Amino acid sequence: MIAFFQEYGSQLLFKTWQHLYISMIALVLGAIVAIPLGVLLTRYKKAAGFTIGLANVLQTVPAMALLAMMIPIFGIGTLPAVVALFIYSLLPILRNTYLGMENVDPTLLDAAKGMGMSNFQSITQVELHLAAPMIMAGVRLSATYVIAWTALASYIGAGGLGDFIFNGLNLYRSDLILGGSIPVILLALAVDFLLGRLEAFLTPTTARKEVDHA
């Protein structure tokens, strides 16, 4: 292990940063698109089944195949990897946003209307606030998927920790395979923990008390 760090330490730091950079761009873009879309679908429910179904179909495409499909369009490197991972990130966030908004207590929505809130105010001040735990659960799930699948991005020249894994497989070197796999696992756990703390912070106080008493 010490010998591995002595030989590959600088590469490991760079590729870990590269891996996290690609993952976070895809995840942030996914959240920027999926959360507003999930909210919009609660207002246009006829389109919800089709849109979520389409996201489900995209999710079933094997990651390696989707990455390969990006090459003729975007070439090789970071951009096609980010686009493919962005597509994969959509479903958990979109589905959880829609379900979270749909599960808001109708009596609270009626109370918001009774207070004279507009539809936009109801969404931003009441519904999103109450749906935040469900939305964050989708973001956490998506983050775990994206960090894991970013390892495959090395296949199309995007770099990241997948370089160690693929080189290890090609050279039959377990140290390279472990040197890439273990940081991916640790990254996924660390990001999930941090997002979990953010989820707890965003959870309304009343919801926290209900969870504590359950």
Per-residue pLDDT tens digits of the chain, which is 214 residues long = 677 777 778 898 999 999 999 999 999 999 999 999 999 998 888 888 888 888 888 888 888 888 888 889 888 889 999 999 999 899 899 999 999 998 888 888 788 788 888 788 888 888 888 899 899 999 999 999 999 999 998 888 888 999 999 999 898 888 899 988 999 999 999 999 999 888 888 777 654 544 444 4
Q: Is residue 212 domain-resident? A: no
Q: Is residue 211 domain-resident? A: no
Contact status, residue 195 vs residue 203, Cβ threshold 8 Å: no
Contact status, residue 191 vs residue 119, Cβ threshold 8 Å: no
pLDDT of residue 61: 84
pLDDT of residue 202: 79
Tokens of 164: 């160690």
Residue 201's Cβ-count burial label (10 Å; 0-12, 13-18, 19+) is exposed
Give the 3-state secondary structure of residue 184.
helix
Tell me the CATH number at 30. 1.10.3720.10
Q: Is residue 3 domain-resident? A: no
Q: Is residue 51 domain-resident? A: yes
pLDDT of residue 16: 93
Continuous H helices in 44-173: 45-60, 63-74, 78-102, 106-114, 119-122, 128-150, 162-171
Q: Is residue 184 domain-resident? A: yes
Closest of 195, 212, 192, 193 to residue 204, by C-alpha: 212
pLDDT of residue 120: 81
pLDDT of residue 56: 84
pLDDT of residue 185: 94
Q: Is residue 197 domain-resident? A: yes
Instruction: Give the side-chain half-sphere CA count within 13 A for 153.
Output: 31
Q: Is residue 213 domain-resident? A: no
Q: Which residue range(s) make up the domain with 20? A: 8-204
If one counts the domains in the chain, the total is: 1
Q: Is residue 161 domain-resident? A: yes
Contact status, residue 176 vs residue 168, Cβ threshold 8 Å: yes
As a 3-state breakdown, the chain gives helix, strand, coil percent values, each rounded to 5, of 90, 0, 10
pLDDT of residue 206: 53
d(CA 2, CA 70): 38
pLDDT of residue 214: 44
Contact status, residue 151 vs residue 165, Cβ threshold 8 Å: yes
Structure-token match 């991972």, residue found = 85
Contacts with 90 (C-beta within 8 Å, 6 or more apart), sequence order: 30, 33, 34, 55, 58, 142
